[in-house]
Amino acid sequence: MLLFPGLWLRFIFYLTPMKTGAILLSLFMIMQQALHAQTGMLTNTQQDDVNKLIRAAKAGNKQQIASLVAYPLKRTYPLEDIKSNDEMLMRFDTIFDPVLLRQIARSKTENWKAMGWRGLMLDNGVLWMDDAGKIIAINHQSEKEKKLQEKAIQKDKKKLPPSLQGFVKPLYNITTERFRIRIDELAGDRLRYASWSRKRGNKEPDLVLYNGIFEAQGSGGNHTITFTNGQHRYVVTINRLGTSETPEVLLTVFKEGKELLNDPGRIKRN
């Protein structure tokens, strides 16, 4: 429609003035929305939402900021997700440390970018908001939270068989329709995949793969981790942002380029 404005204008002149005005208004709104989508510019409503958060950060208003969070707010495994407003207030200083609060408070609307259906992101994705003005993701991690995560990692290791305890940090604990899967980071930034059949329930894993390849899918946090086992490729897709139909995790297995398995799942959280 927008590719042929001349045709549209010739069509409009044949209409009554009332219909012409309505169509022109609709075209203007569509063109304005297309401009925002193409440039990442914020709408007036989005600017209001961002400025509301900026004012709360400047004032250090914990109650106000907590009310702007969409719960549960996911944290890095094996840390517990924040499930409610009360939990956020208890853990507020761990999540919104002075570094993050200062980054929000000093930001201008120019530092925020509209990313279509994924929402609004601050700078390079340190914080995300949806179109309802709610915080849906915080990718910043405070020093205090890093220490809490290290304690949680040591506790997590004890739950595993000795053969799997030699990792640096766990990345994902996943349950699909068919498997239980762990992806851990080993020394030297190597990634390990271990899986168990949900039917067998063995303590030792049925399959262990190494040297996973991480590939980011845009700036929203979505990514894939691919492991190779002979002629087979195991691709784990993590969707941090998506529609209501998007699975949180998708395991896809290929053999010589042919898809053998497509297994949706979820990330296990504390």
60: domain CATH number? 3.10.450
The rounded mean pLDDT for the chain is 86
Measure the N-to-C terminal CA separation of the chain; round to a whole number of Å: 49
Residues 91 and 128 in one domain: yes
Does the residue 210 lie in any domain? yes
What Å distances lie between residue 127 and 2, 53, 100, 118, 141, CA to CA? 33, 11, 9, 12, 11
Looking at 144, 178, 205, the residue that finishes a domain is 144
Question: What is the reported pLDDT for 6?
Answer: 42
Stretch 197-214: mean pLDDT? 90
Q: Given a cut of 80, is residue 242 above it in pLDDT? A: no
Question: What is the reported pLDDT for 8?
Answer: 38
Does the residue 27 lie in any domain? yes
Residues 110 and 175 in one domain: no
Does the residue 155 lie in any domain? no
Question: What is the reported pLDDT for 10?
Answer: 39
Stretch 119-134: mean pLDDT? 95
Contact assessment for residue 250 and residue 263, using Cβ atoms and an 8 Å cutoff = yes
Does the residue 70 lie in any domain? yes
Q: Given a cut of 50, is residue 136 above it in pLDDT? A: yes
Question: What is the reported pLDDT for 191?
Answer: 98
pLDDT band at 64 (very low <50, low <70, confident <90, very high): very high
pLDDT band at 32 (very low <50, low <70, confident <90, very high): very low
Give how many domains the chain has, as a whole number.
3
Does the residue 64 lie in any domain? yes
Does the residue 204 lie in any domain? yes
Stretch 194-216: mean pLDDT? 91
User: When comparing pLDDT for 80 and 39, which is higher?
Assistant: 80
Residues 6+ away with beta carbon under 8 Å from 229: 207, 209
Q: Given a cut of 50, is residue 26 above it in pLDDT? A: no
Residues 180 and 263 in one domain: yes
Rounded distance, CA 138 to CA 125, Å?
8
Residues 216 and 166 in one domain: yes
Question: What is the reported pLDDT for 203?
Answer: 87
Does the residue 149 lie in any domain? no
Rounded distance, CA 180 to CA 198, Å?
6
Does the residue 150 lie in any domain? no
Question: What is the reported pLDDT for 233?
Answer: 97
Residues 257 and 182 in one domain: yes
Structural domain span for residue 56: 44-144
The rounded Cα 24 to chain-centroid distance in angstroms is 38
Residues 204 and 132 in one domain: no
